[in-house]
Amino acid sequence: MSYTYTVCKKFEFPYGHRLYKHKGTCCNLHGHNALLEVYLCSDFLTDEGMVIDFSDMSKRIKNELIEPLFDHAFIYYREDEIAKEIAKLSCSKFLEVDFNPTAENLCKFIYDRIDEMFASYNNVNVLKVVFYETSTSFAEYTKK
């Protein structure tokens, strides 16, 4: 019989964005304090009895994803000329993406990066990523 072990690490970071062609108030520049939950799983444990060391998981995700790309960054869709000009004029840290920066799209983007990040870890897979835009609104991405 096979058992699957799952671990989860949470990360918080502030970011700003604007939703391109949105009909509501989110077309305005605004910010969020995001909460990110990353779930890694494995059918096996290491010799130490872990899916992965939480410290290793945290360092990789913080140092290779959150700090360089998201923390205090302004995220905008590359076709959004207004956001692009604002980023050039007033932002020291911005992330131009190929999609409208909704919670759903950001969730998948983050999932894909983390999946690449841990691809070399033996028997460790990304189960899902949950991206909280606010304390009451979140998106979840799980690969089929």
The reply to whether 133 belongs to the active site is yes
Domain boundaries, the chain: 5-141
Record the tokens describing residue 20, joined without a space.
Answer: 């391109």
Instruction: Name the active-site residue from 26, 27, 41, 91.
Output: 26
The reply to whether 37 belongs to the active site is no
* pLDDT, tens digit, 9 for 90 and up, residues 48-90: 999 999 999 999 999 999 999 999 999 999 999 989 888 888 7
Could you tell me if 78 and 96 are in contact, meaning their C-beta atoms sit under 8 angstroms apart? yes
Give the pTM: 0.93
H/E stretch holding 58 reads: helix 54-61
Which pLDDT does position 87 carry in this prediction?
A: 84
Question: Cα–Cα distance between 140 and 144 in angstroms, integer?
Answer: 13
Instruction: Please tell me the CATH code under which domain 5-141 is placed.
Output: 3.30.479.10
The reply to whether 26 belongs to the active site is yes
pLDDT band at 1 (very low <50, low <70, confident <90, very high): very low
Residue 23 predicted with pLDDT over 70: yes
Residue 3 predicted with pLDDT over 70: no
Which pLDDT does position 95 carry in this prediction?
A: 94
The residue among 76, 73, 67, 65 whose CA lies nearest residue 91 is 73
Could you tell me if 48 and 8 are in contact, meaning their C-beta atoms sit under 8 angstroms apart? no
Which pLDDT does position 80 carry in this prediction?
A: 94
* pLDDT, tens digit, 9 for 90 and up, residues 80-123: 998 988 888 876 899 999 999 999 999 999 999 999 999 988 88
Instruction: Name the active-site residue from 12, 22, 30, 72.
Output: 72
